[in-house]
């Protein structure tokens, strides 16, 4: 995903959309967050010739969709369920990445606000 989003309003905190989070994953939550895991194996993706840009958390559904397309080649409408599952997963992944970006932005804003509001104690 080569898109750069959110950079206009986040220039003052030096945040790009393709950056990895700088805060621990549990900061800002009152519960333990699980780590996302790839379901598809790398060697399966290589053998299926899936391009690197599509090797994300939804790649296992893309594999299923490609298998279905191969089996039902002229009648691709038979793969509508697999296609829908893959596109739905991609959309949910996009939403999750945007939520992570917003979490990172808010935590950096908070850090900057705390850093700039340090006042000497009057007592």
pLDDT tens, residue by residue, 83-119: 999 999 999 999 988 888 888 888 888 888 888 876 6
Residue 13 lies in a domain: no
pLDDT over 70 (residue 9): no
How many domains is the chain partitioned into structurally? 1
Residue 25 lies in a domain: no
**Would you call 28 helix, strand, or coil by DSSP?**
coil
Residue 92 lies in a domain: yes
Residue 70 lies in a domain: yes
Number of Cα atoms under 13 Å in the Cβ half of residue 54: 16
Residue 84 lies in a domain: yes
The reported pTM is 0.72
Return the percentage of the chain with pLDDT > 90, whole number.
25
Computed over every residue of the chain, the mean pLDDT equals 80
**Would you call 106 helix, strand, or coil by DSSP?**
helix
Q: What is the pLDDT of residue 100?
A: 84
**Cα separation of the two ends of the chain:** 53
Range of the structural domain that residue 93 is part of: 58-111
Tens digit of each residue's pLDDT (9 = 90 or more) over 17-76: 666 777 767 777 767 777 788 888 889 888 888 889 888 899 999 999 999 999 988 898
């Amino acid at each position: 995903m080569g898109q750069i989003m959110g950079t206009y309003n986040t220039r003052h905190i030096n945040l790009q959309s393709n950056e990895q989070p700088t805060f621990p994953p549990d900061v800002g939550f009152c519960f333990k967050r699980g780590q996302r895991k790839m379901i598809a194996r790398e060697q399966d993706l290589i053998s299926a010739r899936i391009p690197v840009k599509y090797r994300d958390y939804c790649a296992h559904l893309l594999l299923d969709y490609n298998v279905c397309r191969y089996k039902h080649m002229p009648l691709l409408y038979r793969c509508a369920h697999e296609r829908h599952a893959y596109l739905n997963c991609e959309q949910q992944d996009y939403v999750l990445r945007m939520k992570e970006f917003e979490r990172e932005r808010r935590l950096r804003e908070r850090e900057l606000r705390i850093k700039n509001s340090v006042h000497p104690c009057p007592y």
